[in-house]
Chain A
């Protein structure tokens, strides 16, 4: 009889626990969908408060925070900007999110998890270790901030290298389907494509994350073009408008001063590429991770810092199976005004 009592007791305990767990329901945030597309014409504003033109090089980590519907935030997009104020060049170097990183005590995980563990400052420090250069500044943007900025411009022009159907992993929004080619995307579709790492079907893409990095860099460059389209006078009001949409440790005056300095010659160059991205299933974690490649990073950053041959530095990586546009390095001239 005692055994049977124990069995009944155990069943009751399980039932009560299950019922209690069912009560712990999380509320979900809603995201408004936008199809609006309006143009904005900025009026000239006062001269910047910084008189002297800043000089030198600044390293800035741009972090795309994937916080969504209450899910934990990760640095899903990491793009290191090397802003050369003297030579008027910005290098955009994507840092693969899946790069194997030691979180301490031999505990390895994906580099982008550091945002969850330690916040954006810790994420910046971790990327600095991986890349091998001191990164003092960060700019973090979430999806709603990105959509606000794109909405400001009435959409964003993008040239997609592949067809893709993006499915929201939370299954609460319809799939977004994109065709390859030039197109202007709404804020919602920009948000969707910015996060799309899967959904390319059977197009035989060797590394879908590289494609996303390419698209994200392209969108970042286009936003720079938009920012300078009405001259440097527009920079300060624009930046003021966007301050709420980003989180950064760069003082506002310096943001404006750097941007104005970059545009002071009437144009500047943006060179984009990605860091070492090849990887495999990691024996320590069982995860697919990008293999740490300090030498690869050193070669790349050496070429970037010393005006060397970037293409030669990344030629060790196989881009032959990607679409024509993704050649490993891109160069764009931003014209001011």
Chain B
């Protein structure tokens, strides 16, 4: 299979290729929001801004953070310090939004109170501090995690879709090209549709391949998909009309042999029987079995018309 064949295969199965990733993404969303809504973690941050002794306040904050951390209840309290900005940030994660906010503010107040009572009162370097309280708690990493899960689900959907398409393709063995037909069936491809000459070449090739002086009747038999057979009959009729000495010719369209055996009887009676194969819709198995059946019926099977799109 060439890359071009693969692209065509995807195009033919575009609905599945799009639908499966969407289904996977929706399933992932459902799982996250319905099945695991209890696992949400909310993170709130409060900040202590001090005039001096940021390191000492950070040390006190680390002690308070450890005291408030309760792994059994999923409460995690950490702190970080910025010596240059003289700020100490209290970060609280817990399963409850309000709880995270409250603890973040409680710890900040406790640290500031401890700092005020504990740090030395130096008139040259007085300690001042204020709190920038936590006002909201964000679901921890929710956006990032959601994007990651969704992307993973879409990728999984694409992967499954591609696998399905390839497996079905491997089982069905659809007709892909002229080469594909000539490799497997010992019959000439008389023409590929669409054509630009109005069907003149197809008519000529049927006459040449029939090995008869006069071809007065033709039977068109689809390998399976019959949607293009009438179009080919119209092409041949138009080609006949454009001939200077147009002769009488009966062009019959039949159902595929998988539907009815009538085509085999008709094919025995006409001067030339032609199989119509539609790329990607008909399988090699359809074509091979039709050709074998027509040979058994002793029909003058002159060749194949390949409908490419």
Contact surface of A with B, Cβ cutoff 8 Å: 1-2, 4-5, 8-9, 12-13, 16, 19-20, 23-24, 27, 30, 32-36, 38, 40-43, 144-145, 147-152, 187, 237, 240-245
* B83 lies within 8 A of A12 (CB): no
| Number of residue pairs spanning A and B whose beta carbons lie under 8 angstroms apart | 109
Instruction: Say yes or no: A148-B1 contact (C-beta < 8 A), given A244-B63, A244-B66.
Output: no
Do most interface residues of chain B lie in helix, strand or loop, or is the interface mixed? helix
Q: Given contacts A12-B159, A12-B163, could you give 17 more A-B pairs where the C-beta distance is less than 8 Å?
A: A4-B1, A9-B166, A19-B155, A20-B156, A27-B144, A32-B80, A32-B83, A32-B85, A36-B83, A144-B62, A145-B62, A152-B55, A152-B59, A240-B118, A241-B59, A241-B118, A244-B59
* A151 lies within 8 A of B54 (CB): yes
| B60: contacting residue among A2, A9, A149, A244, CB under 8 A | A244
Give the Cβ gap from A29 to chain B, nearest Cβ, in Å.
8
Residues of A within 8 A of B151 (CB): 23
* A1 lies within 8 A of B82 (CB): no
Instruction: Say yes or no: A33-B84 contact (C-beta < 8 A), given A4-B1, A244-B64.
Output: yes
**Which B residues from 118 to 155 make CB contacts under 8 A with A?**
118, 120-122, 125, 141, 144, 148, 151-152, 155
Interface string of B213-235 (1 = CB under 8 A from A): 00000000000000000000000
Residues of B within 8 A of A23 (CB): 148, 151-152
| A147: contacting residue among B55, B84, B173, CB under 8 A | B55
* B120 lies within 8 A of A42 (CB): yes
For the complex, give the distance between the alpha carbons of A114 and B251 in Å.
88
**Which B residues from 141 to 188 make CB contacts under 8 A with A?**
141, 144, 148, 151-152, 155-156, 158-159, 162-163, 166, 169-170, 173
6 A/B residue pairs, CB under 8 Å, sorted by A: A5-B1, A5-B166, A8-B166, A38-B52, A152-B56, A245-B62
Q: Is B33 an interface residue (CB 8 A)?
A: no
Residues of A within 8 A of B55 (CB): 147-152, 187
Interface centre among A2, A24, A152 (most CB of B within 10 A): A152
Closest 6 CB pairs of A and B: A244-B62, A244-B63, A151-B55, A34-B83, A32-B82, A148-B55
Q: Is B81 an interface residue (CB 8 A)?
A: yes
Of all chain A residues, the one with the shortest Cβ separation from B66 is A244
Give the Cβ gap from A24 to chain B, nearest Cβ, in Å.
7
For the complex, give the distance between the alpha carbons of A19 and B156 in Å.
10
For the complex, give the distance between the alpha carbons of A148 and B79 in Å.
12
Q: Is B61 an interface residue (CB 8 A)?
A: yes
* B152 lies within 8 A of A20 (CB): yes
For the complex, give the distance between the alpha carbons of A223 and B297 in Å.
105
For the complex, give the distance between the alpha carbons of A145 and B79 in Å.
11
Residues of B within 8 A of A144 (CB): 58, 62, 80-81
* B60 lies within 8 A of A5 (CB): no
Residues of B within 8 A of A242 (CB): 59
Instruction: Say yes or no: A1-B1 contact (C-beta < 8 A), given A16-B159, A187-B55, A241-B118.
Output: yes
Give the Cβ gap from B138 to chain A, nearest Cβ, in Å.
14
Of all chain B residues, the one with the shortest Cβ separation from A153 is B55
Q: Is B6 an interface residue (CB 8 A)?
A: yes
For the complex, give the distance between the alpha carbons of A13 and B162 in Å.
10
Q: Is B285 an interface residue (CB 8 A)?
A: no
| A36: contacting residue among B66, B84, B158, B166, CB under 8 A | B84
Interface centre among A40, A147, A237 (most CB of B within 10 A): A40
* A237 lies within 8 A of B118 (CB): yes
Q: Is B281 an interface residue (CB 8 A)?
A: no
Of all chain B residues, the one with the shortest Cβ separation from A154 is B55
Interface string of B1-29 (1 = CB under 8 A from A): 10000100000000000000000000000
**Which B residues from 56 to 101 make CB contacts under 8 A with A?**
56, 58-66, 79-85
* B84 lies within 8 A of A32 (CB): yes
For the complex, give the distance between the alpha carbons of A12 and B84 in Å.
50
Of all chain B residues, the one with the shortest Cβ separation from A243 is B63
Interface centre among B66, B85, B156, B170 (most CB of A within 10 A): B170
Residues of B within 8 A of A19 (CB): 155
Give the Cβ gap from B66 to chain A, nearest Cβ, in Å.
7
| B59: contacting residue among A27, A43, A145, CB under 8 A | A145
Residues of A within 8 A of B122 (CB): 41
For the complex, give the distance between the alpha carbons of A114 and B53 in Å.
35
| A43: contacting residue among B53, B120, B144, CB under 8 A | B120
Of all chain A residues, the one with the shortest Cβ separation from B159 is A16
* A1 lies within 8 A of B170 (CB): yes
* B59 lies within 8 A of A149 (CB): yes
For the complex, give the distance between the alpha carbons of A104 and B54 in Å.
44
Residues of A within 8 A of B58 (CB): 144, 148, 244-245
Instruction: Say yes or no: A243-B83 contact (C-beta < 8 A), given A1-B170, A4-B1, A5-B166.
Output: no
For the complex, give the distance between the alpha carbons of A91 and B81 in Å.
33
Of all chain A residues, the one with the shortest Cβ separation from B170 is A5
For the complex, give the distance between the alpha carbons of A149 and B148 in Å.
40
* A187 lies within 8 A of B59 (CB): no
Give the Cβ gap from B164 to chain A, nearest Cβ, in Å.
11
* B83 lies within 8 A of A187 (CB): yes
Instruction: Say yes or no: A8-B6 contact (C-beta < 8 A), given A43-B121, A244-B61.
Output: yes
Give the Cβ gap from A53 to chain B, nearest Cβ, in Å.
26
Give the Cβ gap from A195 to chain B, nearest Cβ, in Å.
19
